[in-house]
Structure 1
């Protein structure tokens, strides 16, 4: 039966939400495919063809939902930040559940910032992170998401009752440790743990082999 006001039918009305849901799912798949490419191959790998292949959608879909690659990269950057935020929230939940002892705090804080990945993936992550600044759209997406990441890390610090370290300082120390370790062929997590322990204690921690 036709709708007198719009000329449509009741069947059309029922199909519209389904079409909208399919459209949202397809757009989501495209954004997540772009985010995967950013993290694993770098922003330069984000092309319409590569994203369509990764998302298993027609090539035209990548231009239907986004005005261009910058628009797609901006959306994908927010998905990447969402992953970092969830990673930190999970660390806060774990710390809250197990009532971490003070000596556990460095490990909890490092794990809240470092990606949960093997050495090769950690290297790839930081290579991508350092290179993100060459892509202004991606850099803006990361900058816009920084408040959410800091808030999530703030919950981790609160769960550990650490009030003398800010989220920004924590990220700077862990990221700095990672870049130093990677450039010098050292273990990333070990160096990050030592430096975060020093940060929490307010003094240099003893170095191995020095008593």
Structure 2
């Protein structure tokens, strides 16, 4: 059964999906179970099966919640920019918006769990289907961040791909993650200008 036809039900469903997303990011997709999600959300175990058909349905909602969280973080950085002032370091803005908050250990852990999403087909499909919501924010972010550069036409997908590749390279080579990501995004902007 999938409940949640009321406003209260919709809020509870969102709470459970957000708890599932947080669990996946912290412990990986293999940690996703009704019991673990219920404990994380602080709801009775029966709530997870009432609001979600099965574990696949819960995984799909968790994937959407993950993307919504990433988009909200990028939107927060975007809204913190002074639209009137030119951006001195567009690479810094993009790195700050596209990487999770925290130190290099937090970024490394985040990317390890994101890579593991592919092990759960429902999670991966949900992230892929929800990606359009993140792309809307990324298009606006890159447009603002790159406005004063000749690289204003860079696609958000390319910026994100370079950033993700920089994280993987930094982690696998023992480099400072944020610094390496910044340097490669700055190089991309310079080449595209």
**Given the two structures, how large is their TM-score scaled by the length of structure 1?**
0.82
Candidates 101, 104, 110, aligned match of 1:116: 101
Which whole-Å CA distance do the structure 2 matches of 1:175 and 1:69 have between them? 29
Are 1:39 and 2:25 counterparts?
A: yes
Which whole-Å CA distance do the structure 1 matches of 2:84 and 2:24 have between them? 34
- Gaps of at least 5 residues in structure 2 are none
Are 1:172 and 2:157 counterparts?
A: no
Equivalent residues in 2 for 1:144-155, closer than 5 Å: 144-155=129-140
Which whole-Å CA distance do the structure 1 matches of 2:120 and 2:95 have between them? 27
Which whole-Å CA distance do the structure 1 matches of 2:101 and 2:68 have between them? 15
Question: RMSD of aligned C-alpha atoms?
Answer: 1.7
Based on CA coordinates, which of the two structures has the bigger radius of gyration? 1
Deviation at 1:20, TM superposition (A): 2.9
**Given the two structures, how large is their TM-score scaled by the length of structure 2?**
0.89
Equivalent residues in 2 for 1:1-211, closer than 5 Å: 20-97=6-83, 99-101=85-87, 103-160=88-145, 161=147, 162-202=151-191
Q: Residues 146 and 96 of structure 1: is their aligned pair in 2 closer, same or farther, counting only changes over 3 Å?
A: farther
- Gaps of at least 5 residues in structure 1 are 1-18, 204-211
Count of residue pairs brought into register by the alignment: 184
Deviation at 1:83, TM superposition (A): 0.9
Deviation at 1:82, TM superposition (A): 0.4
Which one has more relative contact order, counting CA pairs under 8 Å at least 6 apart?
2
